């Protein structure tokens, strides 16, 4: 929701400094995550979110890449469609929910898969924020299965296969949206 709404605002609403703000927002993609780890940890600690799953969910809910992807899609939505909705009495929020979001289903599905794979496979962020074994994510659990002197490789490989299954299932469910998105991208107005 955050990426879709921000992408719609940057693509279809006109306000002073829109393009400069968007460039600054995109500039955050150039800053490596590892540079901001200490400040992010201190901020999560100040809010009392260290060792909670909120420390993993809140930062992942905002994505500069997701906003860029959604903006690029919403730019392709004809302005005449937005103007017609304004004439019919829709405000920007109604236009977003009733017109823009239904058109963006394939892009949203693509973004959801990317975000899911990113969060599902993330090792570093949970390692920083979580210190309770019961809250560890799957990559941390797999890393804990590897022993210092010996490792039960068949069990570790079986766990790795199980870890891949949710990503495959998510892809299979979103495959129709991918195909529709690719088919729609080849159509001309």
Task: Note the pLDDT tens digit of each residue in 103-135.
Answer: 998 889 888 888 888 899 899 999 999 998 889
Distance between first and last Cα of the chain = 27
Helices (H), 31-121: 37-46, 54-60, 64-76, 79-87, 92-95, 101-103, 105-120
Give CA–CA dist 15/21, Å, rounded: 10
Give CA–CA dist 95/91, Å, rounded: 6
Domain tally, the chain: 1
pLDDT at 174 over 90: no
Between helices 2-12 and 105-120, what is the axis angle to 10°? Answer: 130
Q: Model confidence at 175, in pLDDT bands (50, 70, 90)?
A: confident
Query: What does the pLDDT average to over 56-78?
Result: 92
Provide the residue range defining the domain that includes 105.
Answer: 2-185
How many C-beta atoms surround the C-beta of residue 146 within 10 A?
Answer: 11
Structure confidence at residue 186 (pLDDT)? 47
Q: What is the CATH number of the domain that holds 157?
A: 1.10.3720.10
Give CA–CA dist 146/154, Å, rounded: 11
By the 8 A CB rule, do 171 and 109 touch? no
What sign for the dihedral angle of Cα 79, 83, 86, 88?
negative
Structure confidence at residue 150 (pLDDT)? 80
């Amino acid at each position: 929701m955050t990426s879709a709404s921000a992408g719609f605002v940057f693509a279809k609403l006109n306000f002073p400094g829109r393009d400069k703000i968007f460039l600054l927002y995109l500039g955050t993609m150039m800053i490596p995550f590892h540079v901001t780890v200490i400040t992010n940890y201190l901020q999560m600690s100040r809010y009392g979110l260290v060792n909670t799953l909120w420390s993993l969910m809140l930062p992942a809910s905002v994505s500069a890449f997701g906003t860029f992807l959604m903006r690029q899609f919403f730019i392709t939505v004809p302005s005449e469609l937005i103007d017609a909705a304004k004439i019919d009495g829709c405000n920007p929020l109604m236009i977003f929910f009733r017109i823009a979001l239904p058109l963006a289903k394939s892009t949203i599905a693509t973004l959801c898969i990317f975000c899911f794979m990113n969060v599902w496979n993330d090792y570093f962020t949970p390692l920083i924020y979580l210190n309770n074994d019961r809250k560890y994510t799957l990559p941390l659990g797999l890393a804990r299965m590897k022993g210092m002197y010996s490792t039960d490789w068949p069990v570790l490989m079986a766990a790795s296969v199980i870890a891949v299954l949710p990503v495959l299932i998510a892809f299979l469910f979103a495959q129709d949206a991918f195909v529709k998105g690719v088919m729609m991208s080849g159509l001309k107005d």
